[in-house]
Amino acid sequence: MIKNFLNKISQFNSSKYYVVYKNRDDKIKTYLIGSINLYNSFSNKKQNRDNAGFKAYCFARNEVRSFRHDRIVSLTKK
């Protein structure tokens, strides 16, 4: 319930970005995402990385999603 509330709040952020992203299967897709909060980053212990990516609201999925830095092809402000 709280997660859904936070997702709805994220939709109203004024900053929006287009991210061209390559998934683990090497498929490239473009997503419209909300504000990027680099303080909401995540790590990957298997790869020994403290900062592997960030989380942002994804309008295509209607939820907060994770985006790895090494899979971002481009990032532009809308």
For the record, the structure tokens of 29 come out as 């897709």
What pLDDT, on a 0 to 100 scale, did the predictor assign at position 37? 75
Other Cβ atoms less than 10 A from the Cβ of 69: the count is 12
Range of the domain at 17: 2-77
Residues of the chain with pLDDT under 50: none
- Residues 6 or more apart whose Cβ sits within 8 Å of residue 67: 19, 21, 33, 53, 54, 55, 56
So what's the pLDDT on residue 36? 85
Residue 74: predicted pLDDT: 97
- Would you state the pLDDT for residue 63? 92
How many structural domains is the chain composed of?
A: 1
Beta bridge partners of 62: none
